[in-house]
Amino acid sequence: MKSWLQQYDILLQYIREHPDIRITRNAIITPENSRENFYRVFDAVRTAFIEQNVSDSIEELRNLANAYSQLKDSLIASTIVESTTMPPDLIEFTNNLDQSVIKPVFRTLFDLLQGKTDLQTFQTATTSSINAYIQYFTSTVFEKWILLGMIKHLKPQELFVIPADAQENHRIERFIQQETFRIIEPPKAISTRTLSFISEPEPLIITPDFVLQIRIGNRISYLAVRTGFRYPSHCTVDLPQMASWVKTNMNAGIGKSEIMVYFDSRLSNLSVIADNKRMRKPDICIKYLSEKSEDINACVEDIRCINDHLNPCMGTYLISRNPVNIESQNNLLLFAKTFDTGLDQIRLERFFENVLSVAINETCNLTDYEASCNARESYLNTGCEQCEMI
């Protein structure tokens, strides 16, 4: 295997031998008759750079992509889920990793050819871009792998989505006490057979990513999941008083690596997770670590902030793809229970059996009256007088 510098020399030689290809600081011209061969040599440089600098990390990404695809196929074969949807970059990652992984080298390699940068700067900038790519996809796909395992374990009877930005959702603006309030009515759940991992970029309100209808004994219960919290722009009315609420706070330590789980005996009670005034307290928070290099101390701090502000009713748990050392486990003991799952479906199943199934049974054993008494005080303590007036 040639080094990336050797492949780069071959690319330069190819350009010199084809004067119809013009690459200057201000223009890139690759005529149609030589374009295919140009990009074949160009991509060889990108591939060589990846293999020379981050081959171990790419192999771990490949294992993750394969684990995700296997679990997705198993989920579709054994549950009501018939298909999944994801953003295009995630689809390419899971279906064509080799093509996806060289993308960070595209722009920087052209900058090098155009004389906008030198070899040292190219190597530094490209390595940084690749590491950011690896971090993003490792975290994102590991999260989806956990969610697939959750759904497979629960074997839901129905799957629902709750679109916050649907056309039919009624929106109004009210001017109260010299302040304008943007209000949206609680949206309605829609039954589906497609599991979507596409989230709204700027939400009006926060709704679940999906809701599962599950049967426990002779009772029907609902489980909602929310990931990737973003600050909502609207408030809403008629939030369920039987849920526990806290004031919406973007400094609560909620980042991109948490899975919030909510239980309820009524589907309509799960239509809103948060508006710009209140956040529903999760029943369970699942934090996850997808890479060996992640800062365990930062993770402990995130969990501490989540527990202080949201105080999940049934606890916070940490799923780690790699073993957590004893010292870090001791630091985590006060805040969360830790489970090392690797990419092993059996170990992930055991986690949900030990944590999720027990929590659901406890929730189903609560009467509606008990749940109402437990939650009403928190609802009133986060009261938004303007919303109550509306």
Helix/strand/coil (H, E, C) string of the chain?
A: CCCHHHHHHHHHHHHHHCCCCEECCCCEECCHHHHHHHHHHHHHHHHHHHHHHCHHHHHHHHHHHHHHHHHHHHHHHHCCCCEEECCHHHHHHHHCHHHHHCCHHHHHHHHHHCCCCCHHHHHHHHHHHHHHHHHHHHHHHHHHHHHHHHHHHHCCCEEEECCCCCCCCCEEEEEECCEEEEEECCCCCEEECEEECCCCCCCCCECCCEEEEEEECCEEEEEEEEECCCCCCCEECCCCCCCCEEECCCCCCCCCCEEEEEEECCHHHHCCCECCCEEECCCEEEEEECCCCCCHHHHHHHHHHHHHHCCCCCCEEEEECCCCCHHHHHHHCCCCEEEECCCCHHHHHHHHHHCHHHHHHHHHHCCHHHHHHHHHHHHHHCCCHHHHHC
pLDDT of residue 386: 36
Q: CA-CA distances (angstroms) from residue 345 to 11, 138, 342?
A: 44, 17, 9
Res 306: pLDDT = 87
Give every CB contact of residue 25 below 8 A, 6+ residues apart in sequence: 114, 115, 116
Find out whether 8 and 49 touch, Cβ atoms under 8 Å.
Answer: no
- Amino acid 376: pLDDT: 40
User: What pLDDT is recorded for position 184?
Assistant: 74
What pTM was computed for the model?
0.87
- Phi and psi angles of residue 311, each rounded to the nearest 5 degrees, phi first: 45, 65
Residues of the chain where predicted confidence (pLDDT) is lower than 70:
165-182, 250-256, 292-294, 362-390
The pLDDT assigned to 368 comes to: 45
